[in-house]
Structure 1
């Protein structure tokens, strides 16, 4: 296959082998499509294909690019505009052309900055842009006859391109057309007089005499004749006036005449206004400034602000420090005011060695070391001389006062110091004497002595610069064993200087503190059956004193209980306060001990204190329950008979056990260990009552065997057992309640009332004695016990039953059980109701014929 181009081979060509179309020559759209009527531009090609022969028509669109800048047809545009043209008048300008199309063509115009003209861009019917020149303000040919403007056309391409043209505007007077006629143009007064310069500068010496003349430049006026400059006027002033002169050409000019002597120091510059006025109608005028510079002459001597200058300077001012800047004032100027400073007189020889005067600036600085304590006042005279042709001079006196500086530290000296001292030292006692000193003077030499606050001491001034340190508050070594007393001396300078010295005051101990126990009352619990020699507690007291005043010895304050000394029961280590038990205690015999322990120091005189010790014996479960009911003559088997017709719920027997241990360990519960028929009897585990659960039947055996165990509440628990053999009989038994109230047929009942009265009286007497003893014991105890300890021969149980030997207080069931047990012993049992409540006083008396029969009995009465 072979391709070839038939037309437009100038710009495009084709690769005959591959068919690729490529550019043969640079394409210029504006030369191919010069007309801008159509926005599109195409290159039309005809391609021929050989074998078989075929022709293809191809159109290649050429896109425009911004490769042409706008151009004006003329580089310079000339405009003639009359100065009488009104504002807002428009003038057409030739537009720029751009071969590019669309946004790449001319877009807008810009005019160079001008106060008279502006442009306005217009759009033609074909979309082209052109500009119109607009007059903004009236022209004046005399002021500016030609206006040069730059008009710039800018297209809308990226980047934008531009073209410029010069616009030259000529300002014309009212134009006249002359047609072979000679016409004379008459002048009008349209111009004001003008000076060639904006200001006229004149230099006049202040020594110039009055009447001196100075020529001034004249004003010009473009107008002619009467419309030209006619006269001059000078602004009102005190020193100058003018005189108007006429030149050979008829022009007018003015001379400036000095009418009064000048003084530069009063007024160095004179501003005048010269006005030129023409002869037109109406008259026009023009002004110019006349600036007169008054030149100086050396007619003023230097002067100081003060003829006497007093200066104060600190003695520690370093070398080079500024003392004073002496500035003399000379009203002249230039070399006439250049001043040189010199010393005229030294009142002291050492002044020149101590201070330096700068001849140019007049500064006086420190040259040597100053010391207030050596020299206090310096006097000198300084002369100021100018450098004028005829030099003039002035002088002043300087008095330099050296001020004292706080450059000496105050000194402190401890003249005497007493240490150590007893802690009971008396108030207002002097323990130290201190002196202070400061070499400075004035406030710098006044010093104050102080000690730290919150100390039991104060300073007292005894004489000039001498102080005494005295005791102001009581001292206590146990609180503060020693004091570090810092004496600080401070002067009243600014800034203040100070010095200090620290002394240590040691306090000696005295025996002023009694031994102290951590507690005022000790309660120590000791388990009974303890081993002899066991450590009970450590009662250690504390004494804040030192040495022998601190060594403590411990004692037991002797006290006898039941003819037994406390030192036989307890022992205390006299050195460390360890308390030991010397014997084994039995809770059932001794329940508590109350005594005092004393701690005594070894001071002189010795001091002591004591503490109360309460020893409480703690019970152990070391006693097994004892069954006291039903009564047993021999062994542990009890035989009882009950009617066979006993009803359900009837009381058959009551087991009562006693435990001499404490309340907790004496709590007893009852259980069946063995029972012949478990369906026939029930046992209350708390009160030990055995009751029938049903009525007997003919099938039940006649003999029933019950084994009851009574167990206490200790750890480990202890117990006792009783065996009850019950035999059923057919004979009925009277009710218990009847038996309790049946008449007694014993002979002794005739004297029963007498016995009761004696028994009740004895009990009342013993009760009264017991109350009195209890009150006495409670008064001796610091803290009474919460519950009174029971006597050894009694035990209080939670079931409200109490046994004392053969005496029982209980309800009806207890009463019946006691009645059965005591009658078998051959004793008489009597009960008597208490005045209030349902309880009873029960007494058991051995049977006999007289009072002596009951003397061996331990009959007693208890109440619950």
Structure 2
């Protein structure tokens, strides 16, 4: 029973595969091997590597493997020799049943790159099965009235082998009444029949026992037997007669259970019980048919009992028996053929022939990702399958052969946008209505270093107080990389550049892992106000990618410099300054002027003057802003001739820095103005030089008059151009020159006729240096307008030496302090005007603290004593 069932189960599948591979051969031309069944495990089928043109090394490198479409893995590959060997016992009858051709299709899959080969292994039959009868004992009841020549159908033997190894002949034991004849039925098949040669006589012999032997055509010959027992009955000499010898019915496989199929009719000419007919399926009907169909024994109606499945069985051939109730019983046989019509009841199936491989994001279009196969168990149009991908996916299906497809790339890939695709493939058959199924294939996209690191912003501004602790952290930059793994690991470095002709690496260093920037030493605002750091972020990809960012470091001023006295110059050298004053001086008489500068900036550089100690505090006063030392009252005869003043100079920083200067004043009788002293000094040498002295006095008087005229002309010109110039000494060209920030700080003493002035030329904007002029008349002890902005880069000793060498102490004044470009004090006609961060400034100062990056227009004077910015 087991083999017969296997034969039925496999027969139609083998036929389908047979037609499938016949079509395949016309398309692809596969490699084909032939082997007999029942070979031992390890038997060599053929040299697969040689036949496919592969080297032995390729078997390992490309991971050659063999897959069977029959379900069970009957073959494997000897990787060392490249031979296809038998992996398991092969029973041809179990695989192909009675099919004349038995071919096992195999798929040979190669990877890197993916490739698919089809081979066939033909399984040849050997005579390993003996003929067998369904029943070992057959019983026949024959009426004694049976006519000579009457034939009785016998059970035919079955042999699982095919061809010459199948059943070829039958023999019957020798007897007097019966002979054996062969009857040809459909499809060239023959069945044995028992022929009555002589009339039967029940009284002489009621039972005949014969041995039927079936022989196959194998070598050696194999046989099977069945015992035939013949019972001779009394007269019931009419058989039931069917209206047809063969009935044929078509049923759809989705026919409902209990459906009526057909009615079989048969009549018997006898009367009474001998003419009553009962119907039944033949005694040799297999259980697989009995479970699906049933017959009414009285009416002959056949109904559907079970489920039909076209994919399991496409046709049923049933033997129907009609027996009467006579004694003995008489029976007849007919054949019922039920053909099953296919219905589209199987959804298509998508099978991965090769697992999907990871794809680089720079893979070219057409790169193979996976191999797959589309199947449908139905037939005809119901088995025609089409595959479709969801739109928008950068993949497509490329058909190869016999419903095999390659999943390939069709567009650009970007792992940063999609690191993994879940490709949904829909398989739809051509049935009516069509059925479909879906399969999702995951495809991983591997990273390629195609994204440089990106800083959080292209440039950074860092504000750092001066005099910081070396090794402290200044700032941390951060860059991110959209890539993955090593391609996204970012390291930081500082590109080499120069800061004041010194490598920037001497100032700072950076942690390559986290981007933290540390100072190498303490910074001094007076030496360095701003510098730039070029930071590079580089990933660890191959090749590596990088990007740069600029870090602007602004040094913030701290009050770390005390005011430095630049006049009197002797005080700057650490000694006491000696001044002379006539006793005839009135109240408000200018004794001297103390001038100091502070190297700091902003409030830290605002300077104020204070009289700390005095021999007679009621006699002298010190201007808080200008440092002018004047008499409070007229000098009396009772005042000491030697006065000593201690003047304290303080800045406005936190904490306050201060310095002092000591001025010794000698009160003398008959002391005149400095210009008279100068004349006296010039006339002292000797009487012999009197004429020369007179010339010098006349020349000096002429120069003084000319200087006064020049000054008046300049004053008128300044008033006319008050709205377009910052001071009386500033020309439009000077203001225009300021717009060029790339200038080095210079301090120079210039002479324009009798007018002498100090010109300070500033550097670039980032250094916050200034460009301005201080105007002085050598003939006047009062400067109409003076503005000074010290710079940290200025060597004040040079200023002192220049001033000392150019002007007498009593003929120039160095007014007011402004150390911050946004804050300070302007002095016009000895009247101070405060400037804060929200005010307008004198040129070349900037106009407000918000727009620091804009060059200001020049300032001018409006009216007589109002300072405004334009």
TM-score class, shorter: 0.3 to 0.5
State the TM-score, normalized to the length of structure 2: 0.41
State the TM-score, normalized to the length of structure 1: 0.41
Decide which structure has greater helix share: 2
The structure showing larger relative contact order (alpha-carbon pairs under 8 Å, at least 6 residues apart) is 2
State the structure with more CA Rg: 1
